[in-house]
Structure formats: C-alpha cells, structure tokens
Amino acid sequence: MTSSSRHVLVIGAGTMGRGIAQVALRHGSTVHLVDPNEAQRVSAYNAIEKRLNRPSSSDLCHPDWQPRLTMGADWDDFRPSWVIEAVPETMDLKGPLFRRLDEEFGPEIWLASNTSSIAVTEVQGVAKNFPERVGGLHFFNPVPRMALVEVIAGMATGPGYAAAAMSLVREWGKDPVIAPDRPGFLVNRVARPYYLEALRMMDDGVVSLETCDEIFEGAGFPMGPFRLMDLVGIDVNFAVTESVFTQTFYDARYRPHRLQQQKIRLGQLGRKSGRGFYRYD
Amino acid sequence: MTDSIWVMGDRTLEAVLKRHTSISVEPFHQGIEGHPVVIIEPSLGPPSQKRHAVEYLANHYPGTMVLSASTTILLAKQQSWVGNRLKLWGFDPWLVAIDAKRLTIVGPDALKPAPWDHFYGWEWDRIEDSIGGVFARVIAPLVNEAMAYRALGLSDRDIDRAIRLGLNHPQGPFEWANLFGVSNIGLVLEAMRQALGESYFPHPEIMRCMAKEGVDWNA
C-alpha cells in the first residue's frame, strides 16, 4: 500500500493526535480525526490548516490535503488501514476504546497506541479478538518536528506489525526504531537519569540548578535538565517517572523526586504555568 | 627550565589541553625532566591505583599543583592521603575530554581556581566535592540504562540514534561509552554505588567488560 492510498483513523485531536494527522496529511494519507470535543476538533483543524497552508521551504506539502481530512465525534463508516490512538494516558480511556476498535475492525486493520508510558501489552490485553494486530507507535512532541518514532510490539503482537509500522512511519518521513515493551520503552527509560540525577544533585547541594543547566548546555546538550523539565512540563515529566517507577515494581533507580511533586503542588509546572524551576513572567 | 603541564595517562586529554594553553603540554613518564606548573592526574581508579599515583606525585613533586579527577574518589579523600604535600584540585576529566565550554572544579574557596591560571577558552564552575561530580553522575547511569537494551538485542547504533533523535542529546550512550571507555563508566558507577546506593550497580555488560580489561574496583 502506498502512502497516497493509506486511510488512517486518528483518535484524539489533542497535541499529539493533531500532530500525527498533520504528518499523515502532508505525506498524502487520508485521515479521519476523531475527538468527542467539538472545540478540540475546531482547534485541531485550525492548527493543521495554519501549518500545512504555510509550509516552510523544507515542507513536502500536499496542497490537496483538505479533501483528505474529515473529522467527527466518531468514525462512523470510515474504513481505515491503520488506527492510531492518541487519547490521554489512562486505561480508563484506552481500555474501552481498544475493546470497541477490536470488535469493530477486522484483523487486517492495524491498531496502534501512541502510548508514552502505558505498556502495549496492557492495551492489547483488552483486545480479546485480535491482539496480534495491536502495537505501539510512540511519536515525540512536537510530532511534525521530531523525527523519531518508537515502534513497540507487545507480548501478543504478531510478527507482521513491526514491518508494517516501520513502513508507515518511513513513508511519513520519520525515523523509526524498534523499542521493547518495557516501562518507558527505550527513550523515556534511558532519559530518566538526565532528570533524576540532576534533581538529586541539586537536592544534595552539589550544584545549583542554573549551574547544572549551564554545564550540560556547555557540553552540547540543547537544554540543561531543569530548563528541559520546564519546557516539557514538570507534571508531565513527573508522571512519566512515576509510571516507570510503578511499572518496575518500585525500582529505586526511578524513584520520583519530591522537588517535582512540590512544584506540582504549587502549580509551578514549567513554562506553561509561567513558573517552574525558572520564572517566565 | 621551561614551564610545562604534565598529563598522566590519557592522550586524549593531552590533545585537548594543548588547545587551551600556551604552555607546553607533555605526557608524564617516570624520569621526565622539567618544571611542571600543573600535573593532570585524570585516572578514575581503582582506588589503590589512584592512591599510588597521587602519593607518587606527593613524594616526587611536593608542593606542585595537581588537577586530579575527583568523580570517583572525593578530593577530601585524596587530600587525606597526601596531607599538604600537594596543592590538590578536583575535576571531571570527561568534560575536558569532550572539550566542553564549562568545566567543573572542586577545591579551596577562591575567586578563581588556581590551575585555571594556565588555561584559556574555558569557563569553570565550582561544585561540591561529591562522587560523580555533575556530568559523570548523569552520563554513567545513562549508559548503564542503555546497556540493558543492548542485552535485549538492540544494536548500539539504534540506541544511539534513538537517544540523539528523541532527546537531542549530542551523543548517544554508546558514543559516550566509546569515548570515555566502558570500564571507566563502570568505575564511576561502582563509586556511585558505594557512595549513593545499590541502585547504581553496573549492568552485567559493563562488569563483563571491566573483567575482560582487568579493571577491578577492589584491586
């Protein structure tokens, strides 16, 4: 199947879902973007329109993207070759959704979760009919700019999933890597020391957060750990750490740090709230 | 007699240091002649060898300024070996090896760390005397995490690519490991394990490499 004939159902029109839809449209796929919230759909459409109608010189823009995009509160009679779920990170939402997808779509339809922390095997556990076509496709934020996509096979994922997912991701101009279905997959797991050791060092009085950031930026990192946590969101970063910690049955390596928890309690979540480890007002 | 900077062991550091000083940089060897203004001792261990090296310098070059790696053995500990016979300062040799813009230094309070009088083109940050310093304390556990993925069958190249693309790190974990040496990563982790807790235990892949290279923290 070529990219131009791909029909992709993207569920969730938040930051990740609209980013995935934008990338798919840019590379010729037909997209149906689902979100129960109309305001979210309108916001997503405006964001996609803004970006695809004003491409940078490096964009491979398909000017015909508009007829290939439909949106709705449900997928109705849309028949995809791929379903990519990008709803919030909770099994309260993902569980019922995948149960329904598994009941409504035949085994030839790939079902991918853009999970960043919930295990793919847990998601496919609710797809009782055809769990072998369920896998993970972990895009990174912002989706249009970040090249990497983690392709994750759960314990029950069939052998064809990885090849199909790699093909899709490559057609969309992305760079896939196979990641195991372990807590944090690959990137979020290996990244934990960057944040946690920085927090522990600051808490131990080894170094100030400003100096810590400057040292890493001076070593070629685009952002020091504290500046990066502020950008990502201290609450988001904390949630990923907490998820890895819980899923590893409380391995001390991933113990979340109370400084982050305190910041969250104060509403100091980073750039998005005007204050995190730094002030942005 | 001409002033010079002597570097023990590591030829990588020697090349970087030459770019930051107008003083002659010489590899240290027994019987070397001259007047060192600074001696660089970048080894990370094991502690018995580090102690031997520092005590050797104290016995043969008393009063000399020595910039000694302090990421695996506290500067305070090293100072206790030699008393006031050396002017000891601690540093993280990995930041020098990558020619980072900023270096970390451990030592007596002063407006400017004395060894840096002889170098230009670097900024320095004084940090507390602590195992791992700042940079090595993050990089070593990061490589340790990556080793688990190699053990699962992922290629070093894919892991490096994922970390560079997904996190925008300047190097992937195996690129760091190749640059600093897997056994040296193991020495930092072993020091962290002893100082900070069992969770820093080196991955078996690292321990195998250390064994193969004959590197033993307890030697």
Q: Which CATH number fits domain B135-212: 1.10.1040.50, 3.40.190.10, 1.10.3430.10, 3.30.420.40?
A: 1.10.1040.50
**Pairwise CB contact (< 8 Å): A215 & B171:** no
Write the pLDDT tens digit of every residue in A192-203.
Answer: 999 999 999 999
Q: Tell which of B104, B169, B171 to mutate to test the A interface (max A CBs under 10 Å).
A: B169
**Per-residue pLDDT tens digits for A124-176:** 999 999 999 999 999 998 999 999 999 999 999 999 999 999 999 999 999 99
Tokens of A230: 């502020």
As a residue count, chain B comes to 219
Residue ranges in chain B whose pLDDT is less than 50: none
Give catalytic status of residue A138 as yes or no. Answer: yes
pLDDT of residue B69: 98
Asked if pLDDT for residue A60 goes beyond 60, the answer is no
CA distances from A40 to A61, A259, B122, B152, B208 (A): 24, 33, 49, 40, 53
Per DSSP, the three-state class of B219 is coil
| Chain B residues closer than 8 Å to A191 by CB | 142, 163, 166-167
CA A237/CA A241 separation, integer angstroms: 6
pLDDT, average across residues A164-190: 96
What is residue B111's predicted lDDT score, i.e. its pLDDT? 63
Query: Which CATH number does the domain A191-273 belong to among 1.10.1040.50, 1.10.540.10, 3.60.21.70, 2.40.50.140?
Result: 1.10.1040.50
User: B107, B89 in Cβ contact below 8 A?
Assistant: yes
> Exposure of A79 by Cβ count < 10 A (0-12 exposed, 13-18 middle, 19+ buried)?
exposed
Smallest Cα distance from A185 to chain B, Å: 10
Say yes or no to pLDDT of A3 above 50.
no
Residue A2 above 50 pLDDT?
no
> What pLDDT is recorded for position A57?
44
Q: What is the pLDDT of residue A277?
A: 98
**Which segment of A16-20, A39-43, A251-255, B109-113 scores lowest on mean pLDDT?**
B109-113
A188 assigned to active site: yes
Residue-wise pLDDT for A85-116, tens only, equals 999 989 999 999 999 999 999 999 999 999 98
Nearest to B138 among A148, A193, A217 (CB): A193
Largest CA distance in chain B: 57
By percentage, how much of chain A surpasses pLDDT 70? Answer: 95
Q: Could you give the C-alpha distances from B202 to A119, A193, B102, B124, B216, in angstroms and in order?
A: 26, 14, 28, 29, 12
Residue A252 backbone class (left: φ over 0; alpha: ψ -120 to 50; beta: rest): alpha
Three state DSSP letters for A218-242: HCCCCCCHHHHHHHHCHHHHHHHHH
Phi, psi angles (nearest 5°) of residue A14: -75, -160
pTM for the whole structure: 0.93
Rg of the Cα atoms in chain B: 18
Q: In this structure, is the dihedral angle defined by the CA atoms of residues A87, A89, A90 and A95, taken in order, positive or negative?
A: positive
A139: nearest Cα among A117, A161, A116, A119: A116
Is the Cβ of B173 closer than 8 Å to some Cβ of chain A? yes
pLDDT of residue A117: 85
- For the cut 70, the answer to whether the pLDDT of residue A61 exceeds it is no
- What share of residues in chain A are helix, strand, coil (percent, to 5)? 45, 15, 40
Q: DSSP string of A71-94?
A: EESS-TT---SEEEE---S-HHHH
Query: If you average pLDDT over every residue of chain A, what do you get?
Result: 94
What pLDDT score was predicted for residue B110?
A: 63
Give the DSSP letter string of B140-192. Answer: HHHHHHHHHHHHTT--HHHHHHHHHHHH--SS-HHHHHHHH-HHHHHHHHHHH
| pLDDT greater at residue A15 or residue A281 | A15
Q: Rounded CA gap, A185 and A200, in Å?
A: 23
Interface touch A225/B197, C-beta < 8 Å: no
- What Å distances lie between residue B105 and A142, B126, B146, B192, CA to CA? 37, 5, 28, 18
Q: Is B135 on the interface with A (CB under 8 A)?
A: yes
| Cα–Cα distance for residue pair B171/B164, rounded to 1 Å | 6
Beta carbons within 10 angstroms of residue B205's beta carbon? 18
For chain A, say whether B117 makes contact (Cβ under 8 Å): no
pLDDT of residue A53: 85
Residue the block writes with tokens 């689902």: A34
| Percentage of residues in chain A having pLDDT higher than 90 | 90
Tell me which residue in B102, B128, B166 faces A214 most closely, judged by beta carbons.
B102
Taking the C-alpha atoms of residue A163 and residue A86, their distance in angstroms, rounded to an integer, is: 21
Name the residue ranges covered by the structural domains of chain B: 3-126, 135-212
Side chain identity at residue B7, one-letter code: V
Question: What is the reported pLDDT for B30?
Answer: 83
Name which of B95, B133, B166 is nearest A187 (Cβ-Cβ): B166
Nearest to A218 among B100, B132, B154 (CB): B100
Tokens of A70: 């439909």
Pick one of 1.10.3720.10, 3.40.50.720, 3.30.565.10, 3.30.56.10 as the CATH number of B3-126: 3.40.50.720
- Angle between helix axes B173-180 and B156-167 (nearest 10 degrees) is 110
Portions of chain A given CATH number 3.40.50.720: 3-179
DSSP-derived secondary structure letter, A55: -
| Residues of B whose CB is below 8 A from A219 | 95, 98, 100-102, 135, 170
Q: Residue A55: what pLDDT? A: 57
Amino acid occupying residue B4:
S
Looking at beta carbons, which residues of chain A come within 8 Å of B166? 140, 146, 148, 150, 186-187, 191
Q: Which residue shows structure tokens 């502690």? A: B47
Sheet with B3-7: list strands edge to edge.
Answer: B24-27, B3-7, B35-41, B65-69, B87-91, B102-106, B123-126
Residue A1 has pLDDT above 50, yes or no: no
Point out the least confidently predicted range of A1-15, A104-118, A231-245: A1-15
Residues 14-33 of B with CB under 8 A from A: none
C-alpha separations of A4 from A28, A137, A150, A165, B129 in Å: 5, 20, 23, 16, 60
Query: Residue B201 to residues A184, A194, A252, B54, B210: CA-CA distances in angstroms?
Result: 20, 17, 11, 27, 13
* Topology of domain A3-179, CATH: Rossmann fold (3.40.50)
